[in-house]
């Protein structure tokens, strides 16, 4: 544009010269009558949005004037002053001059307009947002000005990469409620910070009553973690050496993999190397390690994809011990399969079974838990029945002898939950009291007397809401009423979650947990589910069972990119 303006002005002055020389004879000896500019227009600098005024003085004062912008006449601009419209950034560098005409036109000097950007101005501030976890929230600003750049902040901290006029949060959790978001808008003229918008995050609606989102820590031979989402899908990560992923391979990985070929599932259990799933239709499915027939398919060959176990009725609850499996039917009967060397199947024998057999004399069971050598069941009357081997007191019968059929645990009534670790048993009764017994070499009974096995129930300090359901762990994890998570026993890999690797013989608080709905303990790691669907993991990570890159974790850490409600 600059070249075009210069060319037009050169042609205009050339025309004036030619006209003056060529017409001299027409105006007499004195030449043409020319106007004279006694005041030239001055350069002007204005802020964007302001006007600029250019002024000339001419003699004689009555000489007709015409203003030009970039060599083009401005319609109606015939006075000694010309005021521009409000300037924009595109106007910078424009030139303005006037011509005065008597016999022929005479031009003034050209003045240049410089436009400085105006500071940004917020015209629409970000609005408060309310979402239900785990939805995202979007905040938007509208600002006036040119050359704008944006930087969003959470509180007063800049959010990396949030440099557009809108910002969308990651998937929200209830913990995000109350967070504020604002944006700094900047250009060459300055910057302005928007008012802060507040994010409110509501807890997600509970899933269907028949499905309880949960996470189970598994492993003895291999370590892995199993999760049940609110939509009834099952996901696994960690070691897949025995086929715990259920995807037809033995390829391990720390990224959650969905188990294919299952119906909608409402309960899961993780064993020493196998997984059990209970469908909403009452069907029972198993896969993974099968050295002792714990899959229930009549073989001892590992099962790499889910197998539907043949049972005489719909199931209502399942559990997975280290090497055996138990299912409670809707009518109160129980069936078990897998290792029975210690009579943990409860069929009156010590014959290992690769297909389900009925637990003798149990007709009103509602829930079960299992360790390595024993099984316990809660009945509809609040009684706790137990069977299997008791060399370390895990049967709670006052001795270390075993029993091949269900036997009532003395002193326990009004039970509302049962749990187990490898060679320990635990029961929560009405009121929230927890009783535990069994092996205590690393404090896993929890009554503060390590290295003192208990062959009868003892009280553990606290008011409890949930206890882990079983597996090969040598530690116990439980949830107190009010959602505090505690753990005790072996802590060599940080599985107690209190920031240390020191064993504990009484419950210690797992740090940094909130809004927990489910807890579980594996052979060397632990996991917990939160109300918003997020999962905490901690403890051993030698096989990727935490789903997080790196080594062991002695404090609970959120599993990234995975949510039980999505």
pLDDT, tens digit, 9 for 90 and up, residues 235-270: 999 999 999 999 999 999 999 999 999 999 999 999
User: Domain residue spans in the chain?
Assistant: 2-116, 121-202, 214-416+509-558
What is the rounded average pLDDT for all residues in the chain?
92
Using pLDDT thresholds of 50, 70 and 90, give the confidence band for residue 26: very low
Contact 375, 368 (CB under 8 A): yes
Q: Do domains 121-202 and 214-416+509-558 have the same CATH topology?
A: no
Strands (E), 172-213: 180-187, 190-193, 197-202
Residue 83 CB contacts under 8 Å (≥ 6 apart), including other chains: 51, 52, 53
Neighbours of 11 (CB within 10 A): 11
Tell me, what's the pLDDT at 4? 42
Burial, 449: exposed, middle or buried (Cβ in 10 Å; 0-12, 13-18, 19+)? middle
Question: 85-117: per-residue pLDDT in tens?
Answer: 999 888 999 999 999 999 999 999 999 999 988
Q: 214-416+509-558 adopts what CATH topology?
A: Methylamine Dehydrogenase; Chain H (2.130.10)
In the chain, % of residues over pLDDT 90: 85
Contact 225, 211 (CB under 8 A): no
pLDDT at 338 over 60: yes
Cis preceding-peptide flag for 537 (omega within 30 of 0):
no
Question: 503-560: per-residue pLDDT in tens?
Answer: 999 999 999 999 999 999 999 999 999 999 999 999 999 999 999 999 999 999 999 9
DSSP state letter for 259:
P
Tell me, what's the pLDDT at 134? 80
Does domain 121-202 fall into CATH 2.60.40.10? yes
Region 158-185 average pLDDT = 94
* Best CATH choice for the domain 2-116 from the list 3.90.1150.10, 3.65.10.10, 1.10.1370.30, 2.60.40.10: 2.60.40.10
Q: Sign of the C-alpha dihedral, residues 378, 382, 388, 393?
A: positive
Which has more confidence, 7 or 500?
500
Which has more confidence, 315 or 9?
315
Q: pTM for the full model?
A: 0.68
Cis preceding-peptide flag for 520 (omega within 30 of 0):
no
Q: How far apart are the first and last CA of the chain?
A: 57
Region 31-57 average pLDDT = 94
Residue 186 backbone phi and psi in degrees, to 5: -135, 145
Greatest extent of the chain over all pairs of C-alpha atoms, in Å: 141
């Amino acid at each position: 544009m600059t070249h075009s303006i210069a060319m037009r002005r050169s042609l205009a002055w050339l025309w004036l010269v030619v006209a003056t020389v060529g017409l001299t004879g027409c105006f007499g000896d004195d030449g043409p009558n020319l106007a004279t500019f006694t005041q030239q227009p001055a350069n002007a600098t204005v802020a964007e949005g302001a006007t600029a005024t250019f002024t000339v003085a001419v003699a004689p004062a009555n000489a007709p004037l015409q203003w030009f912008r970039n060599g083009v006449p401005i319609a109606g601009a015939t006075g000694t002053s010309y005021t521009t419209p409000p300037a924009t950034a595109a106007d910078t560098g424009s030139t303005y001059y006037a011509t005065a005409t008597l016999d022929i036109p005479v031009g003034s000097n050209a003045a240049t307009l410089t436009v400085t950007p105006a500071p940004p101005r917020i015209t629409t501030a970000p609005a408060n947002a309310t979402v239900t976890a785990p939805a995202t929230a979007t905040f938007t600003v509208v600002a006036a000005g040119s050359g704008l750049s944006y930087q969003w902040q959470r509180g007063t901290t800049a959010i990396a990469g949030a440099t557009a006029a809108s910002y969308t949060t990651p998937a929200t959790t209830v913990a995000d409620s109350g967070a504020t978001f604002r944006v700094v808008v900047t250009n060459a003229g300055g910057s302005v910070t928007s008012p802060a918008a507040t994010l409110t995050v509501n807890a997600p609606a509970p899933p269907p009553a028949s499905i309880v989102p949960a996470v189970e820590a598994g492993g003895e031979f291999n370590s892995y973690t199993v999760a049940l989402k609110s939509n009834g899908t099952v996901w696994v990560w960690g070691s897949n050496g025995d086929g715990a992923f259920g995807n037809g391979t033995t390829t391990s990985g720390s990224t959650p993999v969905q188990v294919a070929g299952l119906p909608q599932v409402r309960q899961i259990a993780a064993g020493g190397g196998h997984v059990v799933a209970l469908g909403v239709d009452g069907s029972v499915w198993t896969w993974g390690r099968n050295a002792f027939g714990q899959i229930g398919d009549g073989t001892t060959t590992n099962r790499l994809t889910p197998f539907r176990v043949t049972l005489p009725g719909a199931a209502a609850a399942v559990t997975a011990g280290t090497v055996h499996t138990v299912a409670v039917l809707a009518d109160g009967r129980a069936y078990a399969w897998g290792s029975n060397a210690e009579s943990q199947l409860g069929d009156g024998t010590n014959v290992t079974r690769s297909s389900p057999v009925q637990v003798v004399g149990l007709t009103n069971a509602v829930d079960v838990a299992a360790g390595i050598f024993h099984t316990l069941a809660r009945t509809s009357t609040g009684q706790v029945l137990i069977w299997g081997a008791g060399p370390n007191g895990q049967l709670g019968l006052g001795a270390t002898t075993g029993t091949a059929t269900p036997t009532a645990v003395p002193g326990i009534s009004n039970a509302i939950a049962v749990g187990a670790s490898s060679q320990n048993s635990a029961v929560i009764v009405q009121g929230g009291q927890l009783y535990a017994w069994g092996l205590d070499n690393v404090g896993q009974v929890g009554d503060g007397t390590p290295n003192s096995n208990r062959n009868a129930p003892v009280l553990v300090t606290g008011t409890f809401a949930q206890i882990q359901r079983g597996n090969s762990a040598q530690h116990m994890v439980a949830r107190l009423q009010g959602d505090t998570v505690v753990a005790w026993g072996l802590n060599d890999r940080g599985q107690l979650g209190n920031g240390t690797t020191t064993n504990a013989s009484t419950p210690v608080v797992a740090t940094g947990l909130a809004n927990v709905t489910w807890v579980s303990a594996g052979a060397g790691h632990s996991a917990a589910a939160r109300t918003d669907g997020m999962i905490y993991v901690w403890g051993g990570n030698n096989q990727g069972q935490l789903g997080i890159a790196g080594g062991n974790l002695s404090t609970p850490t959120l599993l990234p990119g995975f949510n039980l409600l999505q």
